[in-house]
Structure 1
Amino acid sequence: MERNTFADFKFNKQLLSAIEEAGYTAPTAIQQKAIPPVLAGQDVMGIAQTGTGKTAAFVLPLLMKLKYAQGNDPRALILSPTRELAMQIEENIRLFARYTDLRTVVLYGGLGPKTQIAELDKGVDILVATPGRFLDLYLAGHIVTKSLNVLVIDEADKMMDMGFIGKLHRILEVVPRKRQNLLFSATMGELVHKIAGDFLAFPTIVEVTEQATPAQTVTQALYYVPNLKTKINLLQHLLKDDEALHRLIVFCKTKAVADQVFHFLERRYGADNVRVIHANKGQNTRINSINAFKAGEIRILVATDVAARGLDVSNVSHVINFDVPIVIEDYVHRIGRTGRAFQTGDAITFCNPAEAYYIHKIEKLIRQQIPVSDIPEGVFIEQTGFEERQAIAREIDNQKRKENPEFKGAFHEKKTTNQKSTGGHAGAFQKHKSRTRKPKR
């Protein structure tokens, strides 16, 4: 049965009014496929990338099932890998539950539990939590689980990446056996399969795209760039088009690079136009930066992968991968920050010679080649400094060793020839570029 409007799901008036006021007109593919089995009480496993409306796919039927406030103990538990995502889910629940009296409490680490305990004591229907903080408060006697009848694990692949499998098994031991289970993941790795097997009973499997396929609304581009300074020059060149690049996220793989890029952009565009978020920033600073970006008060957000998931912002025009992510699945999550729910967006990736290895793996994961663009003429290509050249050569050796444990390492042999070249491993890099341009047979 086609469900082209939210009214087709037989939601009640309170829910439909909230959906309409939130500006949602038609359900996305994951919502069309996941909402009916969730409403029917089935266990559901949803494979859907970020930005496809996945959160609403479980929040809306959950609100419909719970209907109104009841008792003091939670009846639904939603587990999330990060604070940012937990807060994002809670924001979605508040948006859609505005005409109900349902009570939601969000639990996460990074700040004292006193306020969260006080909220729990007032009574709660829906609990959104990170696994660690949930277990802490449960073991301290602040959470009673006997009324739980729905358990949701969101971003299961990220949960596995972050090593939460032990905590999830512990939580499964303390919640009632008779319950509905929902599991959502962007990719379907071995560990996700394992937790799904432990967690779901004969689930309805809902998959809206091939696993790890980037959103169809995102245009991708790849620039092969020899070094950090040239990456900065290219970023500066692209940012000249301030009409097109009106709201963008720049992803960096380390806090140090994120700070470096932030300070450069701050000097260039002023403190009012750019913010940076990473693990060393305090929780309040991160929340304030994300809110300012959401509100359109700042143009550029520089971030490490701590913000790659759970950052739900409409109209992000561009995502720029200043560094190629080493956890290759994060590529899908990063570029999913743009082109969200029917909007179009652009994802641009800068790749140095040592990162070409990960691009190859990403292309295998997403089952497509990322179109390569030439560095624009106006961008000055810097010479690669000695230390960076050494680091790139060392990294390429490590990659070869990973693929072939018998590889002895060409790092010392190549040192002399590398010093003569401007890019270090430039020959191999050029070969990779030309190879990438050829279409797959």
Structure 2
Amino acid sequence: MSVNVSGGEATFADLGLRAELLEVLSDLGYEEPTPIQREAIPPLTEGHDLLGQAATGTGKTAAFALPVLERMPRPESSAGPLALVLVPTRELAVQVSEAFHRYGRILGARVLPIYGGAPMGRQLQALKRGTDVVVATPGRALDHIGRGTLDLEGLRTVVLDEADEMLDMGFADDIEEILASTPEDRQTVLFSATLPPRIDAIARRHLRDPVRIEMGQAGAEGRHETPLVRQSAYLIARAHKPAALGRLLDIEAPTAAIIFCRTREEVDQLTETLNGRGYRAEALHGGMEQEQRDRVMSRLRSGTADLLVATDVAARGLDIEQLTHVVNYNVPSAPEAYVHRIGRVGRAGREGVALTLAEPREHRMLKAIERQTGRRIPVERVPTVADLQARRMELTRAALEECLLQEDLGPFHAVVESLTDEFDLMEVALAAVKLAHEAGGTALDEEDIPEVAPRTADKRRGREGPGGERSARGPAGGMARLFFNVGRSAGIRPQDLVGAIAGESSLSGRDIGAIEIADRFSLVEVPHAAANEVIDALRRTTIKGRRPTVRREREARVRRR
């Protein structure tokens, strides 16, 4: 059965939830279910399996948490959990666990998050005492199953939340092993922001006649609607990207924004640049300890910082309520990544903004995203100095208007009165506005950012033919060959290597040359100038769940001798 979510009026009471849950939802201020909740809750409370396509922020946590709690019997002595929720990251485990606790507190629901980095002893004690719902990352869940400390015999429901993210992070084998340890008659629920073929494959293996819900589908597979997100792109030469980003941030004035970069090095460099320009930016990437990550998120949520510069991997599972803007400092290498990124704004009925800074060579990638999402991303002109000055003047006027409406201006009356003895009242007002405007950081020495055009096939001659296929790349001497100690036996495919390199370095898929995959190793050609960057970037990442050894091929051959 397949459901395309559309409009329709319904209340939580119409969904058949028990009185205790309705009371909790009312206390929390929930007035009506979101579309995914409206369509998912009834079949889940009836015990059906479900495959749901829904991005972060659509209310999917409540869509599976409320049915789990609805079906939970009165407190009983069984120590084993009734529901297991698998999530990709520690942050999401905490968020989902907190949601279960909020909804299920009145029922006495016992909820336990288990994830790496948390004290094992505390988790063991909680599991021994008994729990109703376990929210876990796949690695830690498998660890407890292997120890015999996570008893799944009484399990009724398994939820795979953000399943595509878990597969991207290399958890496919862990998920298969966990599902093999659960009862065959369990209810299985799978939520994913995108529905690529590998998600369908898991659904066919593990879901029984599932209800299928696809949010915002227009009849074409893989098309995602994000009606509350204003999307724009800007074509910018690489050298002008920091200045263009600053210009856009000044014009947009976000309450809080995530700026996505490809590599850790780019995150650190851009964070330093933004702070040097007077912004309050924090970096977040995989090279940071969990304690550092927690401090960064605390600063963002408290308002001490308003910009988070992050890699995709580091930002997975983050839920920032005050987020208004997402900025793609580079065009994402895959349309699915774009969908995940912009799904972080436009939530709970609030509007959001997604901005993409594209170099001319990345224009074709924008078109691929448009085809995948079914929505046009308008390419707009970078704001000029005149636009920026007009915006700053508008902000000055708004600040003065707020002051006139709310502030007690009595103490300043004598100052104005004394000045009007010598100057015209309009001149006094103009001088005051000038001071307020300059206090807001007006910069009159900025220059306009040069406009660029998309790179055409003719301009890329020798790299791509008219149909976009790869052709001659120039002399082979311009490329370096890198050795990876993973190959076919580890399930490595060319797209895995391209994705890892493009995701962690400044290279795009087009920059990568010939790829040769043997049984136990792989060889990849990259530009000479970027070889060291790629080697350094991949030392701290994983491919298909394995941390590879990467070095230049010549060095590898010497070592093999």
Q: TM-score of the superposition, structure 1-length normalised?
A: 0.83
Residue 355 of structure 1 and its aligned partner are, at CA, apart by 2.5
* CA gap 1:314/1:190 in 2 versus in 1, 3 angstroms: same
The alignment status of 1:137 with 2:144, answered yes or no, reads: yes
Structure 2 equivalent of residue 238 of structure 1: 248
Evaluate the alpha carbon distance shift between residue 299 and residue 54 of structure 1 in structure 2; reply closer, same or farther with a 3 A threshold: same
Q: Which moved more, 1:152-161 or 1:198-207?
A: 152-161
Bigger Rg, which one: 2
How far did residue 147 of structure 1 move?
0.8
Q: 1:411 to 1:360 in 2, by over 3 A?
A: farther
Aligned to 1:298: 305
- 1:191 aligned counterpart, secondary structure: helix
For 1:261 and 1:283, locate their aligned partners in 2 and report how far apart those are by CA, in whole Å: 21
Out of 466, 472, 475, which is 1:408 matched to?
A: 472
Paired residues of 1:51 and 1:337 also in contact (CA < 8 A): yes
Is the 1:279–1:306 contact (alpha carbons within 8 Å) kept by the matching residues of 2? yes
CA contact (8 A) 2:335 2:373 kept: no
Choose from 252, 275, 282 the match for 1:266. Answer: 275
**What's the CA shift for 1:159?**
2.1
2:102 is the counterpart of 1:95: yes
Alignment partner, residue 53 of structure 2: 47
Amino acid at match of 2:98: E
Name the CA shift for 1:73/1:413 in 2 (closer, same or farther; >3 Å): closer
Q: Any conservation in 2 of the 1:293–1:300 contact (CA below 8 Å)? A: yes
**What's the counterpart of residue 186 of structure 2?**
179
SS at match of 1:136: helix
2:228 matches 1:217 = yes
**Aligned residues, how many?**
400
SS in 1 for 2:145: helix
Distance 2:117 2:344 in 1: 24
The CA RMSD measured in Å over matched residues stands at 2.8
Q: Where do residues 18-417 of structure 1 align in structure 2 (5 Å cutoff)?
A: 18-70=24-76, 71-210=78-217, 211-227=222-238, 229-241=239-251, 244-269=253-278, 273-378=280-385, 380-381=448-449, 404=469, 407-410=471-474
Which digits, 9 at most, give the CA deviation of each residue in 1:384-437, with x for residues without a partner? 9xxxxxxxx99x9878799635x11147999xxxxxxxxxxxxxxxxxxxxxxx
Unaligned runs of 5+ in 2: 1-6, 386-446, 453-458, 479-561
Tell me the distance in 1 between the aligned counterparts of 2:198 and 2:462. 29
One-letter amino acid of the counterpart of residue 245, structure 1: P
Q: Deviations over 1:326-384 (max 9, x none)?
A: 13201011111110121111110001133223222211111222001111222644899
Say whether the 8 Å CA contact 1:82–1:130 is kept in structure 2: yes
The more displaced of 191-200 and 348-357 is 348-357
- The answer to which of 32-41 and 105-114 deviates more is 105-114
How far is 1:101 from its partner? 1.3
For the 8 Å contact 1:250–1:319, the answer to whether it is kept is yes
Higher RCO (C-alpha under 8 Å, 6+ residues apart): 1
Deviation at 1:126, TM superposition (A): 0.4
In the alignment, the residues of structure 2 paired with residue 137 and residue 197 of structure 1 have an alpha-carbon distance, to the nearest angstrom, of 27
**1:214 offset after TM fit, Å?**
4.1
- Name 1:4's counterpart in structure 2: 10
Alpha-carbon separation, structure 1, partners of 2:50 and 2:182: 18
The amino acid of 2:114's aligned partner reads L
Gaps of 5+ in 1: 385-392, 415-441
What is the percent sequence identity of the aligned residues?
A: 37
Aligned residue for 1:239, secondary structure, equals helix
Q: Counterparts of 2:15 and 2:144 in 1: how far apart (Å)? A: 36
Task: Please tell me whether the aligned partners of residues 138 and 171 of structure 2 are also in contact (alpha carbons under 8 angstroms).
Answer: yes
- For 1:256, the aligned partner's letter is E
Matches of 1:352 and 1:284, distance apart in 2: 35
8 Å CA contact 2:112–2:126 kept in 1: the answer is yes
- Structure 2 match to 1:430: none
Output the amino acid matched with 1:65: R
Q: What TM-score results when the alignment is normalised by the length of structure 2?
A: 0.66
Could you tell me how far 1:35 is from its partner in structure 2? 0.5
Deviates more, 1:90-99 or 1:136-145: 90-99
Alpha-carbon contact 1:401-1:409 (below 8 Å) kept: no
Distance 1:140 1:99, change over 3 A: same
